[in-house]
């Protein structure tokens, strides 16, 4: 995993929370998806939009990396219209058993992040498959 400066991690924290807001995840779902402890107060999520960075743990970092990968793949797939990325996230996907990517994210699992990223980012999927071969 890449290392980030404190300022970069703060900016990433803000961006990730705003992205999850755009995908209509509630604070409980954000806590689960980010791998934060279950006892994390729901109100603490708003601090991550302001001037408090997400905790730097291996679990949070891994999940944030996947979320950044999803965001990057959406920007690459829809470079001229960022709203299309949100539409893709809310549209049933046959490769996800007709579920929407957002509905998978709301489950809060690492597997859901990997499944969504694999659908969007073929390089990530190839690297994942190659590492398991």
Please, is 92 exposed, middle or buried when counting C-beta atoms within 10 Å of its C-beta (0-12, 13-18, 19+)? exposed
DSSP 90: T
133/124 Cα distance (integer angstroms)? 14
For the chain, give the percent of residues with pLDDT over 90: 79
Q: Phi first, then psi: what are they for 11, rounded to 5°?
A: -65, -40
Percent with pLDDT over 70 in the chain:
92
Predicted confidence at residue 132, as pLDDT, reads 58
CA 26 → CA 21, 46, 59, 67, distances in Å? 8, 11, 20, 16
Per-residue pLDDT, 82: 83
- Which pLDDT score is estimated for 2? 78
pLDDT recorded at residue 36: 96
**Hey, which residues does 93 pair with through a beta bridge?**
99
Q: What are the pLDDT digits (tens) for 113-124?
A: 999 999 888 777
Residue 3's pLDDT band, with cuts at 50, 70 and 90, is: confident
- Residue 22's Cβ-side half-sphere holds a number of Cα atoms within 13 Å equal to 17
Across 71-93, average pLDDT: 93
DSSP string, 27-85: HHHHHHHHT--TT--TTHHHHTTTT-PPP--HHHHHHHHHHHHHHHHHHHHSTT-HHHH
Write out pLDDT tens, residues 21-60: 999 999 999 999 999 998 999 999 999 988 899 999 999 9
What is the chain's alpha carbon radius of gyration, rounded to the nearest angstrom?
15
């Amino acid at each position: 995993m890449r290392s980030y400066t404190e300022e970069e991690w703060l900016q990433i924290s803000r961006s990730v929370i705003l992205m999850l807001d755009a995908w209509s995840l509630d604070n409980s779902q954000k806590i689960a998806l980010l791998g934060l402890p279950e006892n994390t107060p729901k109100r603490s999520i708003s601090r991550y939009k302001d001037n408090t960075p997400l905790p730097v743990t291996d679990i949070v970092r891994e999940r944030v990396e996947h979320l950044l990968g999803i965001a990057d793949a959406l920007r690459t797939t829809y470079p001229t219209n960022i709203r299309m990325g949100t539409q893709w996230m809310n549209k049933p996907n046959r490769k996800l058993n007709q579920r929407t990517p957002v509905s998978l994210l709301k489950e809060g699992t690492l597997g859901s992040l990997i499944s969504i990223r694999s659908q969007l980012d073929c390089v990530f999927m190839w690297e994942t498959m190659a590492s398991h071969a």
